[in-house]
Amino acid sequence: MLTPELGEPSPSTATRGGRRALVRLDGRPAGTFVETERGTRFTYDPDWLRHPGAVPVSLALPLRSEPYDWPGLHPVFENLLPEGWLLGIATTKLKIAPDDGFGLLLATCADCVGAVEILPMPGETAP
């Protein structure tokens, strides 16, 4: 994406690719969400799958050891993002491009509505 003022890639779009997130459910690590060359990949954590009370992050992502690959953001995660006027405020204040869904997840979904939390991987920072 080009910034209209400078005609250069915005910082959030220039650094896309390879970002990783920890997905927690009710405060417990449930899986990882990774930005790939073709979109995104969600993989359940093996420890989560072995847990006797394990439940899926969403009914659209049933428990399994194989990863879920998706072109762009999987709708389960896309639906966690702010919308409308709140999206405008978030992108302006956080300096994240409106089309950088993965960056928005990392920056805004550590404490979103519901049981799912999206956090930067330990040792990594949000945009």
Q: How high is the mean pLDDT of the chain?
A: 84
Going from N- to C-terminal start, the domains of the chain cover 17-120
pTM of the model: 0.80
Position 33 confidence tier, pLDDT thresholds 50, 70, 90: very high
Share of the chain above pLDDT 90, in %: 54
Nearest to 115 by CA among 78, 87, 86, 80: 80
- Match 């762009």 to its residue by tokens: 72
DSSP 20-71: EEEEEETTEEEEEEEE-SSSEEEEE-HHHHHSTT---SSTTS-S-SS-EEES
Position 77 confidence tier, pLDDT thresholds 50, 70, 90: very high
* 106-110 contacts at long range (C-beta below 8 A, 24 or more positions apart): 106/19, 106/21, 108/81, 108/82, 109/80, 109/81
What is the Cα–Cα distance from 111 to 73, expressed in whole angstroms? Answer: 19
Lowest mean pLDDT among 3-7, 51-55, 96-100: 3-7
What token pair was written down for 102? 């993965």
